[in-house]
Chain A
């Protein structure tokens, strides 16, 4: 009996298929009756391993690198599933995407109605068409000409909404007769006024015996030649917007997902599940898996927002950049987010390990929150007015600020390559230091429950 018991001892875990075959099948058997059932099945399998359980382990159950990868993957996958299931995450993701899509589409709708106008012109007034287009070009307004057969067709086009206005020369020849449905848009009124004056001028030149075409050429070639003494770099609104937007999104993502790392650590401490986990998982595996899992979710969310935003922006023409550059900027922004998240997530994980209750989280995470907030606030308040601010350029060198400021500067285009590379190197160095530091603090503090662990204790050792 004793010998059989010994044999049955041998690692039933080894053989996956044998595992559930052990005694559970007989659910309500008394202890005594279960003996028989328990003994019978595992014995043959168990015999293979000379009685001692240790040599019969599955190949990856040791503490080798393969095992580490498996554990990390398990931990990270749990984090991903937990985040994706969370109602808050689902709602914010949908809101983000809707907000980005809506703002691009609204911009497009508003801009679209003001920029392109359709003017109906009777075939008989063909010359006016080119005059109107020329006037529109000089005023930076887009006007399309729709040629109609006669006045009746022109009015019908306006009433049907096919044209914004129908234009005829007045009988006197000194201006336009314009028919609109309700009112004449300001931009179109300016265009038509310029064109009408041009028409009147040409009429007068003809009357005086001159050639309107010659006069027109002479006027067109006369201009102002500007000599720029200190040229400013080319700026445009789209780049500034893209820069600020990517910096802003990284800011929001860091502020959303960073504290979630701390929360996750505290949840494991406060629910005491960490006790169960640390019996089978090394502390660094638990920390790294959590950071990786939450990082993947955050990156996915940003990627989704980026793809929707840039895709719609390019599609509607609202984002006035070559597609390659826009995609490149998004990729750079995502890279900076990854770097920033690595730094902050490690800090948040270490901070979370110091306390045992969610209520105490604010006390340990506020320094990181401040470090995320400061560059964002400075960036959005300084950069729109002075995109090449020296202050921001210097602050962007600081690793903890770089993930928010660098994407802004890179988007705008007001930073030198060496600055980017230097900042990148500093950031990577800090990440390496933090991996060691946070791992140490986390490993020492996460097992201690109850009062807040001081950083000195956590760094000191066991």
Chain B
């Protein structure tokens, strides 16, 4: 009670024979921006719709503040559905006022909140226009206002950044940070991984209805299999090809990107490089979120097993308001066995 966390606990959903969610679990803490990523059809939207009660789960439950969500509580969630939806023939301000009142605000408070948000999101001059007459970008802004107008205690946004111009992306990012600062748990899905990496405190990668990686971005990157960057200008094209346990993953200028198998001594690689001539650069590079994502998603036999055990993650990190780098001290749920090779880890089903 009272911790203001949104907990998705073992939620399953199947459509006939298709398993959309397979005991999906993760949590979003108060004042935390949680990025929810995964390829199309991985189950992100299904999960969000279940949180909002638009869809009923077959198993599992969603709790906020320790209590299973009910209709009254769901009114306090700000929701942006994947397929945007507003009354096309209703005026902007009226529409937002209506939605605010459905969410429980009184008429006066609703009017004031609407005025604030349309001003803030730059659509104040369109307040008396029908939504269908707005440009797509402005419709998106109104949609965001619809998610925020009742001052939600939780934000669930499905692809909030899709279709936004760079200015709107900045506005959206700022609003999300600000909501985080106000102590709201914010979860959003996105395919723009650089954005997720920059913005989020923690990230969950979902594949085929299961959480395959979940934790602070820095920690996921640290846990992921990095690459060794070696710049030996005089070396031949395949100088590293013959080394044991070393795979050439590509070249960047004169540098070679190497992937080392477990237990391979990087000093041996350095010696091999120096044997070809001078070495200008020799460093380990952490994988970017994009690389991690590709690894997880493209690797079809990486049977995921490392779902977020929120029970283990509850050991009171201050989370919330701190920058992502500081949160890196909190646990990542990706690598429970401590191995660095989580994308390749096999788990017996």
Binding site for B on A (CB under 8 A): 1-2, 4-13, 16-17, 19-20, 22-25, 27, 29-32, 34-35, 38-39, 42, 50-54, 57-58, 60-63, 67, 71, 74-75, 78, 81-82, 267-268, 271-282, 447, 449, 462
Interface residues of B in 145-186 (CB under 8 A from A): 146, 150-153, 173-174, 177-178, 180-184
Bound-state Cα–Cα, A20 to B96, Å? 14
| Besides A2-B320, A53-B76, 15 new A-B residue pairs in contact (Cβ under 8 A), listed by A number | A1-B321, A1-B322, A4-B183, A6-B4, A6-B320, A8-B182, A9-B4, A9-B31, A16-B109, A19-B112, A19-B150, A34-B181, A61-B72, A61-B75, A277-B102
Check A31/B180 contact, CB under 8 A, given A5-B31, A24-B116, A271-B87. yes
Query: Is B108 in contact with chain A by the CB < 8 A criterion?
Result: yes
Write the nearest CB–CB distance from B264 to chain A, whole angstroms. Answer: 42
* B83 cross-chain contacts in A, Cβ below 8 A: 272, 275, 449
Check A20/B112 contact, CB under 8 A, given A1-B318, A13-B76. yes
- Most central of B66, B85, B101, B119 by chain A CB within 10 Å: B85
Which residue of chain A is the closest to B119 with respect to CB atoms? A27
Query: Is B247 in contact with chain A by the CB < 8 A criterion?
Result: no
Q: Are B151 and A5 in contact (CB under 8 A)?
A: no
* A54 cross-chain contacts in B, Cβ below 8 A: 65, 67, 73
What DSSP secondary structure best describes chain B's contact surface?
loop
| 20 A-B pairs (CB sep. < 8 Å) | A5-B182, A6-B30, A6-B320, A13-B103, A13-B105, A13-B153, A20-B112, A20-B113, A22-B182, A32-B177, A52-B66, A61-B72, A62-B72, A63-B72, A74-B101, A267-B88, A271-B88, A272-B84, A273-B85, A276-B81
* B112 cross-chain contacts in A, Cβ below 8 A: 19-20
**Contact check: which of B4, B49, B90 meets A53 at CB < 8 Å?**
B4
Q: Are B102 and A31 in contact (CB under 8 A)?
A: no
* A1 cross-chain contacts in B, Cβ below 8 A: 318, 320-322
Q: Are A2 and B109 in contact (CB under 8 A)?
A: no
Check A8/B183 contact, CB under 8 A, given A279-B54, A280-B71. yes
Bound-state Cα–Cα, A382 to B79, Å? 57
Query: Is B239 in contact with chain A by the CB < 8 A criterion?
Result: no
Bound-state Cα–Cα, A272 to B82, Å? 10
* A35 cross-chain contacts in B, Cβ below 8 A: 181, 321
Write the nearest CB–CB distance from B100 to chain A, whole angstroms. Answer: 9
Q: A-facing mask of B184-209, CB < 8 A → 1, else 0? A: 10000000000000000000000000
Query: Is B1 in contact with chain A by the CB < 8 A criterion?
Result: yes
Query: Is B53 in contact with chain A by the CB < 8 A criterion?
Result: yes
Q: Are B177 and A5 in contact (CB under 8 A)?
A: no
Write the nearest CB–CB distance from A22 to chain B, whole angstroms. Answer: 6
Bound-state Cα–Cα, A124 to B119, Å? 90
Give the 4 A-B residue pairs with the shortest CB-CB distance, closest first: A31-B177, A272-B85, A16-B109, A5-B183
Query: Is B220 in contact with chain A by the CB < 8 A criterion?
Result: no
Bound-state Cα–Cα, A82 to B95, Å? 11
* A282 cross-chain contacts in B, Cβ below 8 A: 71
Which residue of chain A is the closest to B184 with respect to CB atoms? A9
* A273 cross-chain contacts in B, Cβ below 8 A: 85-87
Bound-state Cα–Cα, A274 to B84, Å? 10
Q: A-facing mask of B2-40, CB < 8 A → 1, else 0? A: 111000000000000000000000000011000000000
Bound-state Cα–Cα, A60 to B102, Å? 11
Bound-state Cα–Cα, A81 to B87, Å? 13
Write the nearest CB–CB distance from B338 to chain A, whole angstroms. Answer: 27
Write the nearest CB–CB distance from A26 to chain B, whole angstroms. Answer: 9
Write the nearest CB–CB distance from A132 to chain B, whole angstroms. Answer: 66
Q: Are B71 and A63 in contact (CB under 8 A)?
A: yes
Write the nearest CB–CB distance from A357 to chain B, whole angstroms. Answer: 14
Q: Are B4 and A16 in contact (CB under 8 A)?
A: no
Q: Are B102 and A13 in contact (CB under 8 A)?
A: no
- Most central of A2, A4, A35 by chain B CB within 10 Å: A2
* B90 cross-chain contacts in A, Cβ below 8 A: 78, 82
Q: Are A2 and B153 in contact (CB under 8 A)?
A: no
Q: Are B81 and A58 in contact (CB under 8 A)?
A: no
Q: Are A52 and B65 in contact (CB under 8 A)?
A: yes
Query: Is B248 in contact with chain A by the CB < 8 A criterion?
Result: no
Bound-state Cα–Cα, A19 to B104, Å? 12
**Contact check: which of A19, A27, A51, A63 meets B105 at CB < 8 Å?**
A19
Q: Are B76 and A78 in contact (CB under 8 A)?
A: no
* A279 cross-chain contacts in B, Cβ below 8 A: 52-54, 74, 77, 79
**Contact check: which of A2, A17, A75, A271 meets B318 at CB < 8 Å?**
A2
Write the nearest CB–CB distance from B226 to chain A, whole angstroms. Answer: 29
